[in-house]
Amino acid sequence: MVFQRPAAELLPRHPVIVGGMLETAGSGERHAHIYPGTGTVTAEIRLAGRDDVDRAVAAARAAAPAWAALKGDKRRDLMFRLAALLEAEAQALVPLLVAENGCVAMTAAYMGHDAAQKFRYFGGWADKIEGRTVPTWGRSAHDYVAYEPYGVVGIILPWNGPLFAATMVLAPALAAGNCIVIKAPELAPWSVMRLVELVHLAGFPPGVVNLVTGGADVGAAMVAHPDIAKIEFIGSGATARTILANAAATLKPVGLELGGKSAVLVFADADPAEATRRALSGAVSSNGQGCVNGTRLLIERSIYAPFLEGLGALARQVVVGDPFDPATALGPVISQGALDRISGMVARGVADGGRLLVGGARLGGAYADGYFLPISVLADVASSAEISRTEVFGPVLVAIPFDSEEEAIALANDTDFGLGAYIHTRDLARAHRVAGAMQAGQIQVNGAGEAMIPSVPFGGTKHSGHGRVGGIEGLREFLQVKNVWMGL
Ligand code: NAD
């Protein structure tokens, strides 16, 4: 198979969409988008600027009363129409998803279907948002609780899996009756640009969803804007700290979906083949750049050596390379900077006493100009080492042995993060016990990624954020509570 490159003519051309107008240039900086598979520029984008944010917020604000007042069944029907468009376009989305950040075609192939599922799931909620009545005492009264939209919600997205991240918050925010200003990340803009084009093709009223493709300055303008009632942020903890500080001026709530260093606990009674395959997915999923990837392997000492031997053998079989090739499982990391950072962390992990089981230098030959790294597995790393504690965001796993269930739990919770945890065991009582002891937002027993479906609440504790996407909990993030007390 010949190494493929993105075709520029297929890429969306509207970095700014305001009030239903598709615009070919924003008022901000020019950005040269680099395809990580080759390290070359695919296109130049005229990003949004502060003026565009102001226009987008004004359009969303103007559309908000009618959108909130529209009957839920009408919002549902529009969301179902969008789902149908996404489904029909699933194959056409693949080259955009690959081109924007090196996502492998194998993964990109289900992203359109996944996006459609989210609009169907949350479209189904749009006409079922019910309040409740509350018993009162004292004076005779009738008291009820109503759930209402915020008005204008700002959505700020990361470059890893932007379509996945966008749809997991856009769908519930729309179902709840909010209007949206969404920022596509400049590093990986194409799939979200296309998503908002499809929103308009589906017939959503102008101004309900507005797009501003841009960088930190655009995000900061959204956070500062007095007419954005809530920010939903998906990204790193470092940026989240800045956003929270900046949101203080307008006192707006900020939903936070942040990073992780999720533990994978492998007990001796686990199915070895399944546990190995799932453990390896922590290095492979999203090219190792997934927030909830299980990257800290905690393995019962009695099976530690054979498990790592099997893991190393499987890691060597993973096809690394051209992300357009449907057989490729692991594509490039996002940038030269990311490649250098990851390589530096692996080197320091070795210096800290880690034993490199597999891994090594970046790929050469046809891949030398792209940002390709093989899977690295570091064994015998101390839980206190930098590589055990920091989100690497690359195809890197660390492995630590444990001797007892208590020690496994202590090691798993020995982290600032709290996004996911994975438990591999065939002992049901232990599975419940350990799941109950995990300090993380989502626990998967004998699974890896299967829980990332629209009906299931997902989100973090500790430094991984708060709030949830998915399920009724994800819908409630975009609804305000109003209480009405009526004296009788
Ligand atoms: P990042 O924090 O660098 O950037 C995220 C977004 O914030 C970008 O759109 C960026 O332009 C914007 N931004 C930067 N500075 C800003 C500011 N001052 N004000 C407003 N916006 C600003 O994160 P990233 O590198 O794009 O993404 C990777 C991170 O995202 C990882 O930590 C990953 O774990 C996390 N992530 C979390 C989830 C989740 O659901 N929990 C999903 C995907 C990614």
User: What's the 186 CA to ligand 1 centre distance in angstroms?
Assistant: 11
User: What's the 422 CA to ligand 1 centre distance in angstroms?
Assistant: 24
Return the HEC string of 287-324. HHCCCCCEEEEEEEHHHHHHHHHHHHHHHHHCCECCCC
Residue type, 229: A
Residues pairing with 182 in the sheet? 155, 211
Catalytic residue among 89, 100, 232, 257: 257
Cα separation, 113 vs 373, in Å, equals: 29
- Ligand 1 closest atom vs CA 469: 40
Q: 224: how many CB neighbours lie within 10 A of its CB? A: 15
> Which regions of the chain are under pLDDT 70?
1-2
Q: Which of 179, 189, 147 shows the shortest CA–CA distance to 481?
A: 147
User: What's the 234 CA to ligand 1 centre distance in angstroms?
Assistant: 5
Return the HEC string of 160-212. CCHHHHHHHHHHHHHHCCCEEEEECECCCCHHHHHHHHHHHHCCCCCCCEEEE
Determine the pLDDT at residue 1.
54
Tell me, yes or no, if the pTM score tops 0.95: yes
End-to-end CA distance of the chain, in Å? 77
Cα separation, 395 vs 160, in Å, equals: 14
Helices 190-201/162-175 angle, 10° precision: 30
User: What's the 259 CA to ligand 1 centre distance in angstroms?
Assistant: 9
Determine the pLDDT at residue 10.
86
Most ligand 1 atoms within 8 A of CB, residue of 160, 462, 464 to mutate? 160
Most ligand 1 atoms within 8 A of CB, residue of 217, 239, 257 to mutate? 239
User: What's the 239 CA to ligand 1 centre distance in angstroms?
Assistant: 6
User: What's the 160 CA to ligand 1 centre distance in angstroms?
Assistant: 9
Determine the pLDDT at residue 3.
75
Q: What is the DSSP string of 350-369?
A: HHTT-EEEE--SPP-GGGTT
Q: Which residue has its alpha carbon closest to ligand 1 atom 21?
A: 219
Residues in contact with 430: Cβ distance below 8 Å, sequence separation at least 6, in sequence order = 267, 405
Most ligand 1 atoms within 8 A of CB, residue of 234, 341, 391 to mutate? 234
Determine the pLDDT at residue 9.
85
Catalytic residue among 89, 291, 300, 391: 291
Q: Which residue has its alpha carbon closest to ligand 1 atom 35?
A: 235
Q: Which of 2, 179, 191 shows the shortest CA–CA distance to 93?
A: 191
Cα separation, 196 vs 184, in Å, equals: 10
Tell me whether residue 291 is one of the annotated catalytic residues: yes
Give the torsion through C-alpha atoms of 76, 82, 86, 92, to 10 deg: 180
User: What's the 345 CA to ligand 1 centre distance in angstroms?
Assistant: 20
Q: Which of 292, 261, 291 shows the shortest CA–CA distance to 381?
A: 261
Q: Which residue has its alpha carbon closest to ligand 1 atom 12?
A: 216
Give the torsion through C-alpha atoms of 437, 441, 442, 443, to 10 deg: -10
3-class SS of residue 85? helix
Q: Which residue has its alpha carbon closest to ligand 1 atom 16?
A: 216
Q: Find the helix or strand (DSSP H, E) in which 13 lies.
A: none
Q: Find the helix or strand (DSSP H, E) in which 405 lies.
A: helix 405-413
Q: Find the helix or strand (DSSP H, E) in which 7 lies.
A: none
Ligand 1 site: residues with CB under 6 angstroms? 156-161, 165, 183, 185, 215-216, 219-220, 223, 234-236, 239, 242-243, 257-259, 291, 391, 393, 419, 460
C-alpha to C-alpha distances, 480 to 19, 67, 173, 332, 476, nearest whole angstrom = 25, 16, 12, 41, 8
Determine the pLDDT at residue 2.
64
Residue type, 252: K
Q: 103: how many CB neighbours lie within 10 A of its CB? A: 28
Determine the pLDDT at residue 5.
78
Q: Which of 454, 420, 450, 419 shows the shortest CA–CA distance to 167?
A: 454
Cα separation, 120 vs 112, in Å, equals: 12
Q: Which residue has its alpha carbon closest to ligand 1 atom 24?
A: 158
DSSP 480: E
Give the torsion through C-alpha atoms of 324, 330, 334, 335, to 10 deg: -100
User: What's the 374 CA to ligand 1 centre distance in angstroms?
Assistant: 24
Tell me whether residue 103 is one of the annotated catalytic residues: no
Most ligand 1 atoms within 8 A of CB, residue of 236, 341, 466 to mutate? 236
Residue type, 442: Q
Q: Which residue has its alpha carbon closest to ligand 1 atom 22?
A: 216
